[in-house]
Structure 1
Amino acid sequence: MKPNFKHIILFTMLLASPFVNAQFLTASDTSESSVKRYKSIINANKEIVDFIEYSLVQKGLPRHLRNLALIESHFDRNITSGAGAVGVWQFMTSHANQYGLSEQNRNDLYKSTKTATVSLANLYKKYNNWVTVVAAYNCGEGNIAKAMSAANSTQYHVFYKYLPQETINHVKKYLNACFATGELQSVLSNYNSSRMNTVFLVNGGTKQDNGGLSETEINAGFSLKVIADELDIDVDKILAWNPGITEELQNKGESTLYLPTDLMPDFLLRKNKILTRSIKEGIK
Protein backbone atom coordinates (compact mmCIF):
# COMPACT_ATOMS: atom_id res chain seq x y z
CA MET A 1 0.00 0.00 0.00
CA LYS A 2 1.46 3.38 -1.00
CA PRO A 3 0.14 6.29 1.07
CA ASN A 4 -1.48 8.99 -1.06
CA PHE A 5 -1.49 12.71 -0.25
CA LYS A 6 -4.85 12.54 1.54
CA HIS A 7 -3.58 9.61 3.60
CA ILE A 8 -0.50 11.55 4.69
CA ILE A 9 -2.57 14.63 5.62
CA LEU A 10 -4.90 12.54 7.80
CA PHE A 11 -1.95 10.77 9.36
CA THR A 12 -0.28 14.10 10.13
CA MET A 13 -3.46 15.34 11.80
CA LEU A 14 -3.57 12.23 13.97
CA LEU A 15 0.05 12.54 15.04
CA ALA A 16 -0.51 16.19 15.94
CA SER A 17 -3.54 15.41 18.07
CA PRO A 18 -3.40 15.91 21.86
CA PHE A 19 -4.07 12.18 22.37
CA VAL A 20 -0.86 11.17 20.64
CA ASN A 21 1.19 13.89 22.35
CA ALA A 22 -0.15 12.97 25.79
CA GLN A 23 0.65 9.32 25.25
CA PHE A 24 4.36 9.86 24.65
CA LEU A 25 5.67 13.25 25.79
CA THR A 26 4.28 16.23 27.62
CA ALA A 27 5.23 18.77 30.26
CA SER A 28 5.53 17.21 33.72
CA ASP A 29 5.22 20.49 35.61
CA THR A 30 2.67 23.03 34.38
CA SER A 31 2.23 24.73 37.74
CA GLU A 32 1.94 28.49 37.97
CA SER A 33 5.10 28.65 40.07
CA SER A 34 7.08 26.75 37.44
CA VAL A 35 5.86 29.00 34.64
CA LYS A 36 6.66 32.13 36.65
CA ARG A 37 10.12 30.86 37.54
CA TYR A 38 11.11 30.22 33.92
CA LYS A 39 9.61 33.48 32.68
CA SER A 40 11.32 35.51 35.40
CA ILE A 41 14.74 34.09 34.47
CA ILE A 42 14.13 34.99 30.81
CA ASN A 43 12.94 38.50 31.68
CA ALA A 44 15.93 39.08 33.96
CA ASN A 45 18.33 38.23 31.12
CA LYS A 46 16.61 39.99 28.22
CA GLU A 47 19.75 41.18 26.42
CA ILE A 48 21.34 37.71 26.51
CA VAL A 49 18.07 36.07 25.42
CA ASP A 50 17.69 38.53 22.53
CA PHE A 51 21.20 37.75 21.31
CA ILE A 52 20.67 34.00 21.60
CA GLU A 53 17.36 34.16 19.72
CA TYR A 54 18.93 36.33 17.01
CA SER A 55 21.77 33.82 16.62
CA LEU A 56 19.32 30.91 16.42
CA VAL A 57 17.18 32.60 13.78
CA GLN A 58 20.27 33.50 11.74
CA LYS A 59 21.15 29.80 11.70
CA GLY A 60 17.59 28.80 10.76
CA LEU A 61 16.92 27.26 14.18
CA PRO A 62 13.77 27.66 16.30
CA ARG A 63 13.71 30.28 19.06
CA HIS A 64 12.63 27.70 21.65
CA LEU A 65 16.23 26.41 21.74
CA ARG A 66 16.92 29.45 23.91
CA ASN A 67 15.30 27.27 26.59
CA LEU A 68 18.25 24.89 26.39
CA ALA A 69 20.52 27.65 27.67
CA LEU A 70 17.82 28.50 30.20
CA ILE A 71 17.86 25.04 31.79
CA GLU A 72 21.60 24.54 31.28
CA SER A 73 22.79 27.67 33.05
CA HIS A 74 19.97 30.16 33.69
CA PHE A 75 21.95 32.29 31.19
CA ASP A 76 24.86 32.65 33.63
CA ARG A 77 28.02 32.89 31.51
CA ASN A 78 30.31 32.43 34.52
CA ILE A 79 28.78 29.24 35.87
CA THR A 80 30.78 25.99 36.08
CA SER A 81 29.07 22.68 36.79
CA GLY A 82 30.38 19.96 39.07
CA ALA A 83 31.33 17.97 35.96
CA GLY A 84 33.35 20.88 34.58
CA ALA A 85 30.88 22.26 32.01
CA VAL A 86 31.31 26.01 31.57
CA GLY A 87 29.23 28.99 30.49
CA VAL A 88 25.73 29.72 29.24
CA TRP A 89 25.73 26.63 27.02
CA GLN A 90 27.61 24.45 29.53
CA PHE A 91 30.28 23.24 27.13
CA MET A 92 32.54 20.43 28.28
CA THR A 93 36.11 20.76 27.02
CA SER A 94 35.78 17.82 24.59
CA HIS A 95 32.51 19.14 23.12
CA ALA A 96 33.99 22.63 22.74
CA ASN A 97 37.16 21.32 21.08
CA GLN A 98 35.06 19.33 18.63
CA TYR A 99 33.81 22.62 17.19
CA GLY A 100 36.99 24.66 17.58
CA LEU A 101 35.90 26.52 20.72
CA SER A 102 38.85 26.94 23.04
CA GLU A 103 38.57 25.99 26.69
CA GLN A 104 39.06 29.64 27.67
CA ASN A 105 36.23 30.83 25.39
CA ARG A 106 33.56 28.53 26.77
CA ASN A 107 32.22 31.36 28.94
CA ASP A 108 32.33 33.87 26.08
CA LEU A 109 28.65 34.46 25.29
CA TYR A 110 29.19 35.34 21.64
CA LYS A 111 31.67 32.62 20.68
CA SER A 112 29.93 29.90 22.71
CA THR A 113 26.51 30.78 21.27
CA LYS A 114 27.83 30.66 17.71
CA THR A 115 29.37 27.26 18.51
CA ALA A 116 26.15 26.03 20.12
CA THR A 117 24.09 26.90 17.04
CA VAL A 118 26.44 24.88 14.83
CA SER A 119 26.35 21.95 17.24
CA LEU A 120 22.54 22.01 17.50
CA ALA A 121 22.13 22.27 13.73
CA ASN A 122 24.40 19.24 13.25
CA LEU A 123 22.52 17.24 15.88
CA TYR A 124 19.21 18.03 14.20
CA LYS A 125 20.51 16.82 10.84
CA LYS A 126 21.36 13.54 12.57
CA TYR A 127 18.23 13.01 14.71
CA ASN A 128 15.54 15.06 12.94
CA ASN A 129 13.69 16.09 16.12
CA TRP A 130 14.44 18.55 18.90
CA VAL A 131 13.61 16.21 21.78
CA THR A 132 16.42 13.82 20.85
CA VAL A 133 18.70 16.78 20.11
CA VAL A 134 18.21 18.08 23.67
CA ALA A 135 18.96 14.61 25.06
CA ALA A 136 22.07 14.25 22.89
CA TYR A 137 23.32 17.71 23.87
CA ASN A 138 23.15 16.63 27.50
CA CYS A 139 24.59 13.12 27.45
CA GLY A 140 26.46 12.91 24.14
CA GLU A 141 25.86 11.08 20.89
CA GLY A 142 27.55 7.94 22.19
CA ASN A 143 25.00 7.45 24.94
CA ILE A 144 22.16 8.09 22.50
CA ALA A 145 23.55 5.43 20.16
CA LYS A 146 23.81 2.93 23.03
CA ALA A 147 20.24 3.65 24.14
CA MET A 148 18.90 3.29 20.59
CA SER A 149 20.73 0.00 20.22
CA ALA A 150 19.44 -1.33 23.55
CA ALA A 151 15.86 -0.38 22.69
CA ASN A 152 16.20 -1.33 19.02
CA SER A 153 14.53 1.97 18.20
CA THR A 154 15.46 5.50 17.11
CA GLN A 155 12.39 7.04 18.76
CA TYR A 156 12.99 8.89 22.04
CA HIS A 157 9.80 7.74 23.74
CA VAL A 158 11.02 4.15 23.30
CA PHE A 159 14.76 4.42 23.99
CA TYR A 160 14.72 7.11 26.70
CA LYS A 161 14.54 4.49 29.48
CA TYR A 162 18.10 3.44 28.59
CA LEU A 163 19.50 6.96 29.04
CA PRO A 164 21.07 8.38 32.22
CA GLN A 165 18.45 9.67 34.66
CA GLU A 166 20.05 13.10 34.48
CA THR A 167 19.33 13.23 30.74
CA ILE A 168 15.74 12.07 31.16
CA ASN A 169 15.24 14.83 33.73
CA HIS A 170 16.94 17.32 31.43
CA VAL A 171 14.44 16.62 28.65
CA LYS A 172 11.60 16.97 31.15
CA LYS A 173 12.94 20.37 32.20
CA TYR A 174 13.15 21.41 28.57
CA LEU A 175 9.52 20.46 27.92
CA ASN A 176 8.49 22.29 31.10
CA ALA A 177 10.37 25.40 29.99
CA CYS A 178 8.75 25.22 26.56
CA PHE A 179 5.35 24.97 28.22
CA ALA A 180 6.17 28.13 30.16
CA THR A 181 7.17 29.99 26.99
CA GLY A 182 4.15 28.74 25.02
CA GLU A 183 6.24 26.62 22.62
CA LEU A 184 5.54 23.09 23.85
CA GLN A 185 3.10 22.27 21.06
CA SER A 186 5.68 23.26 18.46
CA VAL A 187 8.25 20.90 20.02
CA LEU A 188 5.77 18.02 20.22
CA SER A 189 4.49 18.57 16.68
CA ASN A 190 8.08 18.48 15.46
CA TYR A 191 8.64 15.20 17.32
CA ASN A 192 5.48 13.63 15.93
CA SER A 193 6.33 14.77 12.40
CA SER A 194 9.67 13.03 12.80
CA ARG A 195 7.84 9.87 13.85
CA MET A 196 5.63 10.09 10.75
CA ASN A 197 8.69 10.37 8.53
CA THR A 198 10.13 7.26 10.20
CA VAL A 199 6.99 5.25 9.43
CA PHE A 200 7.02 6.28 5.78
CA LEU A 201 10.71 5.52 5.23
CA VAL A 202 11.53 3.06 2.46
CA ASN A 203 11.65 -0.43 4.02
CA GLY A 204 9.74 0.99 6.93
CA GLY A 205 10.51 2.54 10.21
CA THR A 206 13.32 1.70 12.55
CA LYS A 207 13.10 -2.08 12.33
CA GLN A 208 14.53 -2.34 8.82
CA ASP A 209 16.51 -5.40 9.87
CA ASN A 210 13.42 -7.23 11.10
CA GLY A 211 11.26 -7.87 8.04
CA GLY A 212 10.19 -4.27 7.42
CA LEU A 213 8.36 -3.68 10.68
CA SER A 214 7.47 -0.25 12.02
CA GLU A 215 6.82 0.52 15.67
CA THR A 216 4.50 2.54 17.87
CA GLU A 217 3.51 2.47 21.53
CA ILE A 218 0.26 1.11 22.97
CA ASN A 219 -1.05 0.73 26.52
CA ALA A 220 -3.04 -2.00 28.21
CA GLY A 221 -6.29 -0.38 27.10
CA PHE A 222 -5.77 -1.76 23.59
CA SER A 223 -7.19 -5.18 22.71
CA LEU A 224 -5.05 -7.20 20.33
CA LYS A 225 -8.22 -8.85 19.02
CA VAL A 226 -9.73 -5.47 18.17
CA ILE A 227 -6.50 -4.37 16.49
CA ALA A 228 -6.53 -7.55 14.40
CA ASP A 229 -10.19 -7.11 13.50
CA GLU A 230 -9.77 -3.46 12.49
CA LEU A 231 -6.76 -4.29 10.33
CA ASP A 232 -8.41 -7.42 8.92
CA ILE A 233 -5.61 -9.76 9.97
CA ASP A 234 -5.32 -12.76 12.28
CA VAL A 235 -4.44 -12.03 15.89
CA ASP A 236 -1.86 -14.83 15.63
CA LYS A 237 0.09 -12.68 13.19
CA ILE A 238 0.20 -9.81 15.68
CA LEU A 239 1.50 -12.22 18.32
CA ALA A 240 4.13 -13.53 15.90
CA TRP A 241 5.35 -10.00 15.16
CA ASN A 242 5.25 -9.14 18.88
CA PRO A 243 6.45 -12.06 21.01
CA GLY A 244 5.74 -11.43 24.69
CA ILE A 245 3.48 -8.44 24.08
CA THR A 246 0.55 -9.89 26.07
CA GLU A 247 2.69 -10.37 29.18
CA GLU A 248 4.30 -6.95 28.80
CA LEU A 249 0.91 -5.22 28.55
CA GLN A 250 -0.29 -7.10 31.62
CA ASN A 251 2.84 -6.49 33.71
CA LYS A 252 3.90 -3.01 32.61
CA GLY A 253 0.67 -1.58 31.27
CA GLU A 254 2.36 -0.56 28.02
CA SER A 255 4.39 -2.06 25.20
CA THR A 256 5.91 -1.36 21.81
CA LEU A 257 3.70 -2.67 19.00
CA TYR A 258 5.39 -3.84 15.79
CA LEU A 259 3.41 -4.03 12.57
CA PRO A 260 4.38 -4.37 8.89
CA THR A 261 5.13 -0.97 7.42
CA ASP A 262 2.19 -1.07 5.03
CA LEU A 263 -0.22 -1.69 7.94
CA MET A 264 1.17 0.91 10.35
CA PRO A 265 -0.48 3.97 8.72
CA ASP A 266 -3.87 2.23 8.87
CA PHE A 267 -3.36 1.44 12.55
CA LEU A 268 -2.33 5.00 13.38
CA LEU A 269 -5.29 6.46 11.49
CA ARG A 270 -7.66 4.22 13.43
CA LYS A 271 -5.83 4.32 16.75
CA ASN A 272 -8.41 6.36 18.63
CA LYS A 273 -11.24 4.24 17.25
CA ILE A 274 -9.42 1.02 18.15
CA LEU A 275 -8.81 2.19 21.71
CA THR A 276 -12.43 3.32 22.17
CA ARG A 277 -13.73 0.01 20.84
CA SER A 278 -11.24 -1.95 22.95
CA ILE A 279 -12.42 -0.22 26.11
CA LYS A 280 -16.10 -0.68 25.29
CA GLU A 281 -15.71 -4.37 24.48
CA GLY A 282 -13.58 -4.85 27.58
CA ILE A 283 -16.37 -3.52 29.77
CA LYS A 284 -18.94 -5.96 28.37
Structure 2
Amino acid sequence: MIKRSRFVGSISGITFLLIGMAFIPAKAQVKKDSPKKSLLAKLGTKETPTVVLKEANVVYPDLLCGNEEQSLDYIEKFSTNRRDYLIRTYNKGKKFFPKVAAILSKHHLPHEFKVLLALESAFNGNAVSRAGAVGYWQIMDEVAKEYGLKYAPQLSAAEKKRELKLAKTLAKKGNKKVKKVIVKDDRKNFNKSTYTAARYLKDRCRNLDNDYLLVVASYNCGVGNVWEAMKKTGKTNPTFWDVKSYLPAETRSYVMNFIALNVVFNNYEKFASNTLNFKPITAKADNFEENMTEEMGEPTSLNNK
Protein backbone atom coordinates (compact mmCIF):
# COMPACT_ATOMS: atom_id res chain seq x y z
CA MET A 1 0.00 0.00 0.00
CA ILE A 2 2.80 2.37 0.79
CA LYS A 3 4.53 1.63 -2.59
CA ARG A 4 1.24 2.20 -4.40
CA SER A 5 0.74 5.55 -2.64
CA ARG A 6 4.21 6.66 -3.69
CA PHE A 7 3.49 5.63 -7.28
CA VAL A 8 0.22 7.54 -7.35
CA GLY A 9 1.95 10.53 -5.86
CA SER A 10 4.63 10.40 -8.54
CA ILE A 11 1.99 10.36 -11.30
CA SER A 12 0.25 13.33 -9.76
CA GLY A 13 3.52 15.25 -9.67
CA ILE A 14 4.31 14.53 -13.33
CA THR A 15 0.81 15.54 -14.38
CA PHE A 16 1.13 18.81 -12.53
CA LEU A 17 4.52 19.46 -14.15
CA LEU A 18 3.17 18.87 -17.69
CA ILE A 19 0.17 21.12 -17.08
CA GLY A 20 2.47 23.81 -15.80
CA MET A 21 4.68 23.59 -18.92
CA ALA A 22 1.65 24.18 -21.10
CA PHE A 23 1.28 27.62 -19.55
CA ILE A 24 4.91 28.66 -20.08
CA PRO A 25 4.88 31.71 -22.41
CA ALA A 26 5.65 30.83 -26.03
CA LYS A 27 8.34 33.49 -26.02
CA ALA A 28 10.24 31.58 -23.37
CA GLN A 29 10.08 28.34 -25.39
CA VAL A 30 11.69 29.80 -28.53
CA LYS A 31 14.38 31.77 -26.80
CA LYS A 32 17.00 29.17 -27.70
CA ASP A 33 15.93 28.95 -31.39
CA SER A 34 18.51 30.30 -33.84
CA PRO A 35 17.64 32.94 -36.45
CA LYS A 36 17.93 30.20 -39.09
CA LYS A 37 15.31 28.04 -37.39
CA SER A 38 12.98 31.00 -37.04
CA LEU A 39 13.22 31.75 -40.75
CA LEU A 40 12.69 28.13 -41.71
CA ALA A 41 9.68 27.97 -39.38
CA LYS A 42 8.13 30.87 -41.29
CA LEU A 43 8.86 29.16 -44.63
CA GLY A 44 7.25 25.91 -43.53
CA THR A 45 8.62 22.51 -42.58
CA LYS A 46 6.57 19.98 -44.54
CA GLU A 47 8.82 20.21 -47.62
CA THR A 48 12.11 21.90 -48.29
CA PRO A 49 10.86 25.35 -49.30
CA THR A 50 12.08 27.31 -52.32
CA VAL A 51 13.22 30.89 -51.95
CA VAL A 52 12.97 33.29 -54.93
CA LEU A 53 16.27 35.15 -55.15
CA LYS A 54 15.53 37.07 -58.38
CA GLU A 55 12.29 37.49 -60.27
CA ALA A 56 12.05 36.95 -64.04
CA ASN A 57 12.39 40.30 -65.80
CA VAL A 58 12.07 39.42 -69.50
CA VAL A 59 9.45 41.49 -71.34
CA TYR A 60 7.88 40.02 -74.48
CA PRO A 61 6.88 42.32 -77.36
CA ASP A 62 3.10 42.72 -77.62
CA LEU A 63 3.05 40.73 -80.86
CA LEU A 64 4.45 37.66 -79.09
CA CYS A 65 2.54 37.79 -75.81
CA GLY A 66 0.33 34.85 -74.90
CA ASN A 67 2.56 31.89 -75.73
CA GLU A 68 5.63 32.61 -73.65
CA GLU A 69 5.87 29.10 -72.20
CA GLN A 70 6.26 27.50 -75.65
CA SER A 71 9.26 29.64 -76.55
CA LEU A 72 10.95 30.54 -73.26
CA ASP A 73 13.39 27.62 -73.09
CA TYR A 74 14.38 28.06 -76.74
CA ILE A 75 15.05 31.78 -76.34
CA GLU A 76 17.06 31.29 -73.16
CA LYS A 77 19.26 28.68 -74.84
CA PHE A 78 19.58 30.75 -78.02
CA SER A 79 20.60 33.85 -76.05
CA THR A 80 23.37 31.86 -74.37
CA ASN A 81 24.68 29.87 -77.34
CA ARG A 82 24.39 32.65 -79.92
CA ARG A 83 25.36 35.63 -77.81
CA ASP A 84 28.04 36.96 -80.20
CA TYR A 85 25.67 36.63 -83.15
CA LEU A 86 22.94 38.53 -81.30
CA ILE A 87 25.29 41.38 -80.38
CA ARG A 88 26.60 41.67 -83.96
CA THR A 89 23.10 41.55 -85.43
CA TYR A 90 21.77 44.16 -83.00
CA ASN A 91 24.62 46.55 -83.81
CA LYS A 92 24.30 46.06 -87.59
CA GLY A 93 20.56 46.45 -87.29
CA LYS A 94 20.89 49.98 -85.91
CA LYS A 95 21.47 51.15 -89.49
CA PHE A 96 18.70 49.11 -91.13
CA PHE A 97 15.94 48.35 -88.62
CA PRO A 98 14.55 51.91 -88.26
CA LYS A 99 14.22 52.21 -92.06
CA VAL A 100 12.54 48.82 -92.35
CA ALA A 101 10.18 49.61 -89.47
CA ALA A 102 9.13 52.85 -91.18
CA ILE A 103 8.27 51.01 -94.42
CA LEU A 104 6.41 48.29 -92.52
CA SER A 105 4.42 50.95 -90.72
CA LYS A 106 3.29 52.43 -94.05
CA HIS A 107 1.81 49.04 -94.87
CA HIS A 108 0.22 48.71 -91.41
CA LEU A 109 2.46 45.80 -90.51
CA PRO A 110 4.05 45.09 -87.10
CA HIS A 111 7.57 46.44 -86.72
CA GLU A 112 8.68 43.05 -85.36
CA PHE A 113 8.89 41.84 -88.97
CA LYS A 114 12.04 43.94 -89.35
CA VAL A 115 14.24 41.16 -87.94
CA LEU A 116 13.38 39.04 -91.00
CA LEU A 117 15.97 41.13 -92.84
CA ALA A 118 18.65 39.79 -90.50
CA LEU A 119 17.41 36.21 -90.79
CA GLU A 120 17.16 36.35 -94.59
CA SER A 121 20.42 37.97 -95.68
CA ALA A 122 22.26 39.25 -92.60
CA PHE A 123 21.86 42.72 -94.20
CA ASN A 124 23.80 41.64 -97.33
CA GLY A 125 22.20 42.99 -100.51
CA ASN A 126 24.35 40.74 -102.70
CA ALA A 127 23.38 37.52 -100.94
CA VAL A 128 22.28 34.65 -103.20
CA SER A 129 20.90 31.41 -101.76
CA ARG A 130 21.34 27.92 -103.17
CA ALA A 131 17.67 28.02 -104.15
CA GLY A 132 18.24 31.18 -106.20
CA ALA A 133 16.79 33.77 -103.82
CA VAL A 134 18.54 37.13 -104.18
CA GLY A 135 19.18 40.30 -102.23
CA TYR A 136 18.32 41.80 -98.88
CA TRP A 137 15.01 39.96 -98.62
CA GLN A 138 16.00 36.82 -100.54
CA ILE A 139 13.30 37.20 -103.19
CA MET A 140 12.89 34.43 -105.76
CA ASP A 141 12.66 35.15 -109.51
CA GLU A 142 8.95 34.38 -109.74
CA VAL A 143 8.11 36.64 -106.79
CA ALA A 144 10.24 39.45 -108.24
CA LYS A 145 8.32 39.11 -111.51
CA GLU A 146 4.94 39.00 -109.74
CA TYR A 147 5.65 42.20 -107.80
CA GLY A 148 7.16 44.09 -110.73
CA LEU A 149 10.84 44.12 -109.79
CA LYS A 150 13.58 44.16 -112.41
CA TYR A 151 15.69 41.09 -111.90
CA ALA A 152 18.50 39.05 -113.41
CA PRO A 153 17.22 35.48 -113.70
CA GLN A 154 19.19 33.02 -111.64
CA LEU A 155 20.53 30.30 -113.93
CA SER A 156 20.64 26.68 -112.93
CA ALA A 157 23.94 24.79 -113.09
CA ALA A 158 22.91 23.26 -116.43
CA GLU A 159 21.97 26.66 -117.86
CA LYS A 160 25.27 28.17 -116.75
CA LYS A 161 27.10 25.29 -118.42
CA ARG A 162 25.24 25.84 -121.70
CA GLU A 163 25.92 29.58 -121.57
CA LEU A 164 29.63 29.00 -121.03
CA LYS A 165 29.73 26.49 -123.88
CA LEU A 166 28.03 28.98 -126.21
CA ALA A 167 30.51 31.70 -125.29
CA LYS A 168 33.43 29.39 -126.09
CA THR A 169 31.89 28.42 -129.43
CA LEU A 170 31.40 32.05 -130.41
CA ALA A 171 34.96 32.84 -129.40
CA LYS A 172 36.32 30.08 -131.66
CA LYS A 173 34.34 31.48 -134.59
CA GLY A 174 36.04 34.83 -134.20
CA ASN A 175 33.47 36.60 -132.07
CA LYS A 176 36.01 37.56 -129.45
CA LYS A 177 33.89 40.42 -128.20
CA VAL A 178 30.88 38.66 -126.77
CA LYS A 179 28.79 41.38 -125.19
CA LYS A 180 27.33 40.32 -121.89
CA VAL A 181 23.96 41.83 -121.14
CA ILE A 182 23.86 43.15 -117.59
CA VAL A 183 20.39 43.29 -116.11
CA LYS A 184 19.81 45.52 -113.11
CA ASP A 185 18.45 43.51 -110.19
CA ASP A 186 16.13 45.47 -107.92
CA ARG A 187 16.36 42.78 -105.28
CA LYS A 188 19.78 44.18 -104.41
CA ASN A 189 18.31 47.64 -103.91
CA PHE A 190 17.42 48.17 -100.26
CA ASN A 191 14.40 50.44 -100.69
CA LYS A 192 12.83 48.64 -103.65
CA SER A 193 13.28 45.19 -102.15
CA THR A 194 12.00 46.27 -98.72
CA TYR A 195 8.84 47.79 -100.19
CA THR A 196 8.31 44.58 -102.13
CA ALA A 197 8.85 42.46 -99.01
CA ALA A 198 6.30 44.60 -97.16
CA ARG A 199 3.72 44.12 -99.93
CA TYR A 200 4.40 40.38 -99.92
CA LEU A 201 3.97 40.18 -96.13
CA LYS A 202 0.76 42.20 -96.34
CA ASP A 203 -0.64 39.72 -98.86
CA ARG A 204 0.31 36.79 -96.63
CA CYS A 205 -1.45 38.49 -93.71
CA ARG A 206 -4.63 38.48 -95.78
CA ASN A 207 -4.09 34.81 -96.69
CA LEU A 208 -3.48 33.75 -93.09
CA ASP A 209 -5.97 35.85 -91.11
CA ASN A 210 -3.23 38.04 -89.64
CA ASP A 211 -1.65 35.18 -87.70
CA TYR A 212 1.78 36.77 -87.71
CA LEU A 213 3.78 33.67 -86.79
CA LEU A 214 2.16 31.77 -89.65
CA VAL A 215 3.00 34.72 -91.91
CA VAL A 216 6.64 34.45 -90.83
CA ALA A 217 6.56 30.71 -91.54
CA SER A 218 5.13 31.37 -95.01
CA TYR A 219 8.00 33.75 -95.80
CA ASN A 220 10.36 30.83 -95.32
CA CYS A 221 8.54 27.87 -96.86
CA GLY A 222 5.74 29.43 -98.92
CA VAL A 223 2.08 29.95 -98.08
CA GLY A 224 1.10 26.70 -99.84
CA ASN A 225 3.15 24.62 -97.40
CA VAL A 226 1.65 26.51 -94.46
CA TRP A 227 -1.88 25.85 -95.74
CA GLU A 228 -1.04 22.16 -96.10
CA ALA A 229 0.28 22.04 -92.52
CA MET A 230 -2.87 23.77 -91.28
CA LYS A 231 -5.06 21.13 -92.93
CA LYS A 232 -3.13 18.34 -91.24
CA THR A 233 -4.01 19.66 -87.79
CA GLY A 234 -7.72 19.09 -88.39
CA LYS A 235 -8.48 22.37 -86.61
CA THR A 236 -10.59 25.22 -87.92
CA ASN A 237 -8.21 28.05 -86.97
CA PRO A 238 -4.86 26.48 -86.09
CA THR A 239 -2.05 28.63 -84.77
CA PHE A 240 1.67 28.26 -85.44
CA TRP A 241 1.97 26.14 -82.30
CA ASP A 242 -0.67 23.77 -83.70
CA VAL A 243 1.00 23.40 -87.10
CA LYS A 244 4.61 23.55 -85.93
CA SER A 245 5.21 19.78 -86.06
CA TYR A 246 3.86 19.64 -89.65
CA LEU A 247 6.23 22.31 -90.97
CA PRO A 248 9.74 21.69 -92.36
CA ALA A 249 12.46 21.66 -89.70
CA GLU A 250 14.10 24.71 -91.27
CA THR A 251 10.85 26.65 -91.03
CA ARG A 252 10.31 25.68 -87.40
CA SER A 253 13.77 27.00 -86.54
CA TYR A 254 13.21 30.10 -88.66
CA VAL A 255 10.08 31.10 -86.72
CA MET A 256 11.67 30.31 -83.35
CA ASN A 257 14.69 32.44 -84.29
CA PHE A 258 12.33 35.25 -85.30
CA ILE A 259 10.81 35.07 -81.81
CA ALA A 260 14.21 34.87 -80.11
CA LEU A 261 15.62 37.92 -81.90
CA ASN A 262 12.57 40.02 -81.09
CA VAL A 263 12.53 39.07 -77.41
CA VAL A 264 16.28 39.61 -76.90
CA PHE A 265 16.28 42.93 -78.79
CA ASN A 266 13.26 44.04 -76.77
CA ASN A 267 15.35 43.46 -73.61
CA TYR A 268 18.74 44.29 -75.08
CA GLU A 269 20.13 46.44 -72.26
CA LYS A 270 19.47 43.70 -69.71
CA PHE A 271 20.84 41.08 -72.13
CA ALA A 272 24.04 43.06 -72.75
CA SER A 273 24.62 43.59 -69.01
CA ASN A 274 23.89 39.93 -68.16
CA THR A 275 20.93 40.86 -65.98
CA LEU A 276 18.21 39.33 -68.17
CA ASN A 277 16.33 36.61 -66.29
CA PHE A 278 13.98 34.43 -68.33
CA LYS A 279 12.77 32.57 -65.25
CA PRO A 280 12.80 33.26 -61.51
CA ILE A 281 16.14 32.40 -59.90
CA THR A 282 15.43 30.22 -56.88
CA ALA A 283 17.25 28.27 -54.19
CA LYS A 284 16.22 25.56 -51.75
CA ALA A 285 15.93 26.77 -48.17
CA ASP A 286 18.54 24.27 -46.94
CA ASN A 287 21.07 25.92 -49.28
CA PHE A 288 19.69 29.31 -48.46
CA GLU A 289 20.72 28.81 -44.82
CA GLU A 290 24.32 29.36 -45.87
CA ASN A 291 23.42 32.64 -47.52
CA MET A 292 21.49 34.51 -44.84
CA THR A 293 21.35 38.25 -44.76
CA GLU A 294 23.81 40.36 -42.80
CA GLU A 295 21.12 40.70 -40.18
CA MET A 296 21.79 37.06 -39.33
CA GLY A 297 25.49 37.72 -39.20
CA GLU A 298 26.31 35.31 -42.04
CA PRO A 299 27.48 35.58 -45.68
CA THR A 300 24.98 36.89 -48.23
CA SER A 301 26.60 35.69 -51.47
CA LEU A 302 25.35 32.47 -53.01
CA ASN A 303 28.91 31.76 -54.12
CA ASN A 304 30.10 31.44 -50.53
CA LYS A 305 29.84 27.76 -49.66
For normalisation by structure 1, the TM-score amounts to 0.54
Q: Which residue of 2 aligns with 1:79?
A: 127
Does residue 171 of the first structure (1) align with residue 255 of the second (2)?
yes
Larger Rg: 2
Q: What amino acid sits opposite 1:60 in the alignment?
A: H
Q: Judge which range, 107-116 or 43-52, deviates more.
A: 43-52
Structure 1 runs (4+) deviating above 4 angstroms are none
RMSD: 2.6
Q: Which residue of 1 aligns with 2:211?
A: 129
Cα deviation, residue 36, structure 1: 4.8
Matched residues in 1 for 2:195 and 2:65: separation?
A: 37
- Matches of residues 204-223 of structure 1 in structure 2 within 5 Å? none
Cα deviation, residue 122, structure 1: 1.6
Residue pair 1:42, 1:49 contacting (<8 A) in 2 also:
no
Cα deviation, residue 102, structure 1: 2.7
Q: What amino acid sits opposite 2:75 in the alignment?
A: D
Matched residues in 2 for 1:19 and 1:178: separation?
A: 12
Residue pair 2:135, 2:188 contacting (<8 A) in 1 also:
yes
Instruction: Find the partner of 2:225 among 139, 143, 146.
Output: 143
Aligned residues: 168
Does residue 160 of the first structure (1) align with residue 232 of the second (2)?
no
Does residue 109 of the first structure (1) align with residue 190 of the second (2)?
yes
Deviations 1:59-91 (A, max 9, x none): 222221111111111111111111111111111
Matched residues in 1 for 2:267 and 2:254: separation?
A: 17
Q: Which residue of 2 aligns with 1:94?
A: 142
Question: Unaligned regions of 5+ residues in structure 1, if any?
Answer: 1-15, 185-284
Distance change in 2, residues 1:162/1:32 (3 Å): closer
Q: Which residue of 1 aligns with 2:22?
A: none
Deviations 1:208-248 (A, max 9, x none): xxxxxxxxxxxxxxxxxxxxxxxxxxxxxxxxxxxxxxxxx
Q: Judge which range, 175-184 or 64-73, deviates more.
A: 175-184
- Identical pairs, percent: 30
Matched residues in 1 for 2:65 and 2:148: separation?
A: 43
Cα deviation, residue 110, structure 1: 0.9
For normalisation by structure 2, the TM-score amounts to 0.50
Deviations 1:231-281 (A, max 9, x none): xxxxxxxxxxxxxxxxxxxxxxxxxxxxxxxxxxxxxxxxxxxxxxxxxxx
Cα deviation, residue 45, structure 1: 4.5
Distance change in 2, residues 1:42/1:77 (3 Å): farther
Residue pair 1:27, 1:175 contacting (<8 A) in 2 also:
no
Does residue 21 of the first structure (1) align with residue 21 of the second (2)?
no
